Amino acid sequence: MNETIARKLKMLPDSPGCYLMKEQGKIIYVGKAVNLKNRVRSYFHGRDHTPKVAAMISHIEDFDIMLCRTNLEALILECNLIKLHKPYYNILLKDDKHYPYIRIDLKEPYPRVTLARRQVNDGAKYFGPYIGATAVREVLEALRKLFPLRTCKHVLPLKTPKRPCMNYEIGKCLGPCGGKCTEEEYDAIVQRVIQFLGGKYQDVTAGIERDMKAAAAQLQFEKAAQLRDQLRDIEGLMQRQQAIQTSGVEQDVFALAQDDLDAMAQVLYIRNGHILGGDNFALPREGKEDPGEVLLDFIIQFYDGDRRPAREVLCPSLPGDIIGPDLEEWLRQKRGSACTLTIPQRGDKRALTLLAEKNARDALEKRNAKKQIQEERTIGAAEELGRLLGLPHTPRRIEGYDISNTQGLLNVASMVVFIDGAPAPKEYRHYRIKSFEGANDFASMNEVLGRRFRRCFAEDEKDRWPLPDLVLIDGGPEQLAFAREAMLAAGADVPMFGLAKRLEEIFLPDQETSILLDHHSPVLHLIQRIRDEAHRFAITYHRSLRGKAHTHSALEDIPGIGPSRRRALLQYFKSVKAVREASEEELSKVSGMNAPAVKAVYAWAHPEEGKQGSLPPD
């Protein structure tokens, strides 16, 4: 603790507010407190800190405070400060998605069912949120199969009815644009859709069953059969829904799972007694923090945006110093209507929080397993590769090289870089072979490696490239020998090996015996990924050059004539042939052409005159 911190600690007030921890003037943590004096002092006078807090305290050089009148003001201010400064030690919710809704504007004549990215107070009915646009489209597709509402964007009613589209012909629209239905008939279908989206399936099915029996009684068997199929589809959709409660409740259920390092927050969305979906969010470095504090910070960030809280918010715990009504009042403000915050201890609501916790644990375990597999394929494979090649340390930066050409034309090479076993695309480079023409992979590899390693010793420090820890050459002993010769000539000596594709053999310099690895080995898979990425990058560059060569214009060969003048010449003369046949006077009429440009184009079009003019007199 330095003098500045010690002095400020003595002056802390007994007031709610926010505190901003700083290192070298940069805010590294933002917190809130019911009592700033007690809360901030606890960081510097307490001892039983979690690893994350202990690490943060070791970096604190100064702090500032911002006083508030109420706990609710402190809560909102903390949220705004976190969004503004994005401190390293705060939970930063990186999810910026806008969960979609289904929208029905009842003020619109013959309303449509549409997708909306945000819920706004415009008088329309909104249903959701749904977890991703795919879920919304599935619901919309189901609705269009069940209910014949229009999907067109016509402003109805039309002054002159038009012929309905194909949707009317196949029974997926009532055809209001053609006057095929009344507004009352259409509104009856809209009300069924609203009931259906609101979870009142029984009312919908009862109405359809009534209409089906009435149609059958009137001998309208085709209509009755359509209603029967519609009823079957709705019942099938109902069976796929997981009902949690019978009452039409609207709830957001939060829970948290932690391990020794990270945490996973889970949200379940329940609308009208049905789980519409769930989402999970990884919270790095929060594994040993107080779960109530972590969950509170997550909830505040989760709703600080376009998300609208449900009628009831459930969570398993909150910090002891947080007054529930303050957070509940904030949630009401975000919702714009009544909202209840509940920490259930028993019953159905407690079962929901336990279900959310189960999902959070499952998501955390899957994330850790995926992370472990990823590490085995990247860092772990790099470590094993270093041991296999007898290197003194794990190769962090591995570079791979490949050559590409078409029968010696457009000879190019690629350099790809893997850092800690993962691709680093910003470090990739490609080369045009300059020293010769034709197909010679050995000489090409020699040139490329020489050019690359000479960059390690550039005179200007800012032009220097870092030395790799290991180099992979796509090829056998011959390519490896040429590459190593170029590297040594440039003044570098880096471990290098080759990979021959036929048997996936590994070749080391000055060793006749190759190394064969198990085809399921993570090390071989890493080497293959580097080799394949180098091949892909080289081929992509070669194809781009080949495409440019095929679309090359003869006008591009004229020195001093850029794209604008080439375009002007073609617009004026319509063809390259006409440009060649033009006189200097005609060329001068083209927009943007000055005297030097005219002479350059004329000289290009009449090379024989230039040669004759250069001959010495007899």
The DSSP string of 240-301 is: HS-B--SS--EEEEEEEEE-SS-EEEEEEEEETTEEEEEEEEEETT-TTS-HHHHHHHHHHH
pLDDT more than 70, % of the chain: 89
Q: Is 393 exposed, middle or buried (0-12, 13-18, 19+ CB in 10 A)?
A: exposed
Asked if residue 129 has a cis previous peptide bond (ω within 30° of 0), the answer is yes
Band of pLDDT at residue 59, cut at 50, 70 and 90: very high
Whole-angstrom distance, CA of residue 426 vs CA of residue 336: 46
Residues of the chain with CATH 3.30.420.340: 383-548
What pLDDT, on a 0 to 100 scale, did the predictor assign at position 275?
Answer: 66
Whole-angstrom distance, CA of residue 476 vs CA of residue 503: 11
What pLDDT, on a 0 to 100 scale, did the predictor assign at position 7?
Answer: 84
Averaged over 250-254, what is the pLDDT? 91
Domain 3-85 -> CATH class: alpha beta
Band of pLDDT at residue 461, cut at 50, 70 and 90: confident
pLDDT(356) > 50: yes
What pLDDT, on a 0 to 100 scale, did the predictor assign at position 235?
Answer: 64
Q: Say if residues 171 and 226 touch (Cβ distance below 8 Å).
A: yes
The closest alpha carbon to 127, from 197, 191, 66, belongs to 197
Whole-angstrom distance, CA of residue 352 vs CA of residue 343: 11
The closest alpha carbon to 586, from 562, 602, 600, belongs to 602
What pLDDT, on a 0 to 100 scale, did the predictor assign at position 10?
Answer: 87
Q: Say if residues 110 and 156 touch (Cβ distance below 8 Å).
A: yes
What pLDDT, on a 0 to 100 scale, did the predictor assign at position 397?
Answer: 95
pLDDT(322) > 70: no
Q: Count CB neighbours of 597 within 10 A.
A: 21
pTM for the complete prediction?
A: 0.51
CATH number for the domain formed by residue range(s) 250-374: 3.30.420
**Coil, helix or strand at residue 174:** coil
Query: How far, rounded to the nearest angstrom, does the alpha carbon of residue 242 sit from its chain's CA centroid?
Result: 30
Q: What is the number of residues in the chain?
A: 618
Q: In what order do the strands lie in the sheet with 113-116?
A: 113-116, 101-104, 125-127
The phi, psi pair for 319, rounded to 5°, reads -60, 150
What pLDDT, on a 0 to 100 scale, did the predictor assign at position 617?
Answer: 42
Q: Say if residues 356 and 266 touch (Cβ distance below 8 Å).
A: yes
Averaged over 120-137, what is the pLDDT? 71
Instruction: Report the amino acid identity of residue 186.
Output: Y
Band of pLDDT at residue 242, cut at 50, 70 and 90: very low
pLDDT(4) > 90: no
What pLDDT, on a 0 to 100 scale, did the predictor assign at position 387?
Answer: 92
CATH homologous superfamily for the domain 383-548: UvrC, RNAse H endonuclease domain (3.30.420.340)
Higher pLDDT, 462 or 92: 462
pLDDT(361) > 70: yes
Whole-angstrom distance, CA of residue 267 vs CA of residue 569: 63
Band of pLDDT at residue 243, cut at 50, 70 and 90: very low
The closest alpha carbon to 544, from 375, 404, 434, 442, belongs to 404
**pLDDT tens digits for range 180-232:** 999 999 999 898 888 877 766 676 677 778 888 998 999 888 888 878 887 77
Averaged pLDDT score across all residues of the chain:
84
Higher pLDDT, 594 or 326: 594
Contacting residues for 140 by C-beta, under 8 A, at least 6 apart: 102, 113, 115
What pLDDT, on a 0 to 100 scale, did the predictor assign at position 22?
Answer: 92
What pLDDT, on a 0 to 100 scale, did the predictor assign at position 367?
Answer: 85
Whole-angstrom distance, CA of residue 465 vs CA of residue 492: 12
What pLDDT, on a 0 to 100 scale, did the predictor assign at position 94?
Answer: 59
Least confident residue range of 81-85, 389-393, 495-499: 81-85
Q: Say if residues 537 and 414 touch (Cβ distance below 8 Å).
A: yes
> CA torsion, points 317, 321, 325, 331, in degrees to nearest 10?
-60
pLDDT(612) > 60: no
Q: Is 508 exposed, middle or buried (0-12, 13-18, 19+ CB in 10 A)?
A: middle
Q: Is 16 exposed, middle or buried (0-12, 13-18, 19+ CB in 10 A)?
A: buried
**pLDDT tens digits for range 19-46:** 999 999 899 999 888 889 999 999 998 7
What pLDDT, on a 0 to 100 scale, did the predictor assign at position 28?
Answer: 94
What pLDDT, on a 0 to 100 scale, did the predictor assign at position 523?
Answer: 93
What pLDDT, on a 0 to 100 scale, did the predictor assign at position 95?
Answer: 52
Whole-angstrom distance, CA of residue 126 vs CA of residue 270: 15
Higher pLDDT, 608 or 577: 577
What pLDDT, on a 0 to 100 scale, did the predictor assign at position 34?
Answer: 86
pLDDT(502) > 80: no
pLDDT(470) > 80: yes
Averaged over 56-71, what is the pLDDT? 87
**Inter-CA distances, 260 with 285, 288, 483, Å:** 9, 6, 47
Band of pLDDT at residue 551, cut at 50, 70 and 90: low
Alpha-carbon torsion (357, 363, 365, 371), positive or negative: negative
What pLDDT, on a 0 to 100 scale, did the predictor assign at position 535?
Answer: 92
Least confident residue range of 160-174, 207-221, 227-241, 568-582: 227-241
pLDDT(581) > 70: yes
Q: Say if residues 27 and 85 touch (Cβ distance below 8 Å).
A: yes
In sequence order, what E strands does 24-120 have?
26-33, 62-67, 101-104, 113-116
Band of pLDDT at residue 121, cut at 50, 70 and 90: confident
Whole-angstrom distance, CA of residue 269 vs CA of residue 254: 9
Averaged over 11-26, what is the pLDDT? 89
Averaged over 547-563, what is the pLDDT? 75
Higher pLDDT, 129 or 427: 427
Averaged over 349-378, what is the pLDDT? 85
Averaged over 77-82, what is the pLDDT? 80
Contacting residues for 210 by C-beta, under 8 A, at least 6 apart: none
Whole-angstrom distance, CA of residue 533 vs CA of residue 460: 31
Higher pLDDT, 322 or 393: 393
**pLDDT tens digits for range 254-283:** 999 998 888 999 998 887 666 666 788 999
Fold of 554-614: DNA polymerase; domain 1 (1.10.150)
**Coil, helix or strand at residue 22:** strand
Query: How far, rounded to the nearest angstrom, does the alpha carbon of residue 4 sit from its chain's CA centroid?
Result: 42
Q: DSSP for 489-556, please give it.
A: HTT----EEEEETTTTEEE-TT--S-EE--TT-HHHHHHHHHHHHHHHHHHHHHHHHHHHHHT--GGG
Residues of the chain with CATH 3.40.1440.10: 3-85
Phi-psi region of 309 (alpha: psi -120 to 50; beta: other; left: phi over 0): beta
Facing residues of 400 across strands? Answer: 416, 472
Q: What token pair was written down for 414?
A: 């690629």
